[in-house]
A and B are shown apart, each in its own frame.
Chain A
Amino acid sequence: MSVSEFNLDTGETVLLLGESGSGKSTLLSLICGTITPQSGTVSVAGEDMAKLSSAKRDQFRAEHIGLIFQQFNLLPFASVIDNILLPLRFAPKRRDRVLNLKDQAKQLCNDLGLPNDILDEKASRLSVGQQQRVAAARALIGTPPLIIADEPTSALDAATQSVFLELLFNQSRANGTSLLMVSHDARLADQFDRVVHMADIITPKGGET
């Protein structure tokens, strides 16, 4: 698979539209640095990912990218607060930006409309909608410059979907964070700064990155 060119500016919100199997996962893995391109460059926040060692890429991901998946985002056996603080464990700089871990986690939960006493709850006892909000809080904590959301709303019903997206938008705008969201749902398009169709940037084989 090859990607012709794809850019994302700081603070921009972009919706990446594509059906499943269109190479979204591979593109996200490239950006996150869990795989490296055979040719061409991937740079995130000005850093050429291919030039970093795999260990550095892992740390880079922890420092700069907040991730939200479709579902099963959380460690089911861990408490909500442990789940939210987990990326900071691998990202010392991002951790340093948070003055008080517990307060910040509480604040984020509050902003995302989660009840106050949820922090010590076990993640597996939460509803799917609550779990996605906890995942959002985890992505937002320590204000990473980029948030990647891979079909974060597909497991939610319509009403919860729009509430979740609004909260996510508010938070990322407030922090000046870039938001890259992948979805197959074109109805979400008008809420984003820009919409990119997978088909436009990806050719199944060959070509330049």
Chain B
Amino acid sequence: MIIRLAFGSLVARALTVGMTILAIALSVGLFLGVEKVRTGAKASFADTISGTDLIVGARSGSVQLLLYSVFRIGNATNNLTWESYQDIASRKDVDWIVPISLGDSHRQFRVMGTTTEFFDRYKYRSGQSLSVKDGAIMSDLFDTVIGADVASTLGYKIGDPIVVAHGLASFSEHKDQPFRVSAILEKTGTPVDRTVIVSLEAIEAIHVDWKSGAKIPGQSTAADAIRSMDLQPKAVTAALVGVKGRLQVFGLQRAINEYPQEPLLAILPGVALQELWQIVGIAETALMAVSAMVIVTALIGMMATIFSSLNERRREMAIFRAMGARPRTIFGMLILEATLIGAIGAVLGLGLLYICLFIAQPIIDNSFGLWLPIDPPAMREVWILIGVVAASAIVSVVPALRAYRMSLADGMMVKI
């Protein structure tokens, strides 16, 4: 009956209580949303590359190698010679190897030279393969496959010509050898979206008339002549490697790291991703802290609402006292009320989160490549909700104490 009365009292003050509940629901929704985006981003990040056992490149730092080979951020300090590449490729424990050649760009996007095997071997989001949205994977030397972001930003269609610039943010373009868009990939949410993919030979081809990073004046080789040339690269930037058996990963890693002919580095993508996330992770902590502060603000708002309601409710409390309620009961009722507000707010916040998820999930996936799964609340989220309810009870102790004192002083007669 007391719960029913407390509930009735809340309903009677529907407007202010509703506002308070809304504030708590919004803050809880925000917090859970941030939590969702955070875990989603983390998972998405960790899912940038999967199915690859090792990434091999010239010796540098593991995070640096990961950054330029997978995220196309920064540059390789050195290359992996074709001989070393062949050496690794011919090892018995190597199942497959895909070379990557970077260094050129198209507008703001990086150009990556690789083999067609890349499209079979590159996996993201736990084993998902790249898929072609439009067109067909390159068959000609001057064919390119572009990522979804490249296509949408530059408005490219199948068959459009592309001129590759030498280096990054460079004005010297490989104008002699224009490429053609042969396929556009589906959005993946990985750096592939922002990459122009060409064949490994094409990278060599566009540099036929170049030497030491500059065009040889007056020299221009016709596309047909280039086609007939030997376009075997002398070096690649990095290579993605798959091993035959899981257990061979570490052996192969050690062998590559101790490769005598050239200083090389082999990294486990998962480990390097985690290292990188630890750097990026500071932002997530800040985000969490801000949304936690929003919850605290909402709870303080609730405390203020209860405080300001006390005066108009003196009569109500006097009636309870006259009927034999102890001041302690009044105290308990106010705590109960705050707990109810907190609980309703928390549940509404959870509901709000799911509504937003249902609406925003495809939009976020499309525009940011961030996949937010709609799962039943995880243990961690349940604990957050319980924490909010507990915090509302604790916060309400302050106004409840005041009500206790007021009802003790007023007794059953209110002098207003």
Residues of A in contact with B (beta carbons under 8 Å apart): 25, 28-29, 32, 34-35, 54-55, 58-59, 61-63, 67, 69, 72-78, 82, 85-87, 89-91, 138
Contacts and interface: CB of A to CB of B under 8 A. Distances in A.
B191 to A, nearest CB: 60
Given A67-B412, A77-B9, A85-B1, A91 B324 contact: yes
B40 to A, nearest CB: 43
B323 A87 contact: yes
A174 B33 CA distance: 65
A93 to B, nearest CB: 12
B323 A86 contact: yes
B326 A55 contact: yes
Instruction: Classify the interface of chain A: helix, strand, loop or mixed.
Output: helix
B328 interface: yes
Interface of B: 1-2, 4-5, 8-9, 11-12, 315-316, 319-329, 411-413
B235 to A, nearest CB: 81
Q: Which 4 A-B pairs have the closest CB atoms?
A: A62-B324, A34-B411, A77-B12, A90-B324
Nearest to A33: B411
B326 A58 contact: yes
Contact of A62 (B9, B319, B323, B327): B323
B136 to A, nearest CB: 71
Contact of A75 (B8, B324, B413): B8
Contact of A78 (B8, B315, B326): B8
Nearest to A58: B326
A58 B325 contact: yes
B163 to A, nearest CB: 75
Contact of A73 (B4, B12, B319, B329): B319
Nearest to A60: B324
B250 to A, nearest CB: 70
B8 to A, nearest CB: 4
A77 B326 CA distance: 21
A44 to B, nearest CB: 13
B322 A67 contact: yes
Contacts of A32: 322, 411-412
B320 to A, nearest CB: 8
Given A34-B321, A55-B326, A61-B324, A29 B5 contact: no
A79 to B, nearest CB: 8
A62 B5 CA distance: 18
Nearest to A122: B8
Given A77-B8, A78-B4, 6 more contacts: A25-B413, A54-B326, A58-B321, A61-B322, A67-B412, A78-B5
Nearest to A34: B411
A55 B316 CA distance: 19
B328 to A, nearest CB: 7
Contacts of A35: 411
A63 B323 CA distance: 9
B5 A82 contact: yes
A150 B2 CA distance: 26
A138 B319 CA distance: 12
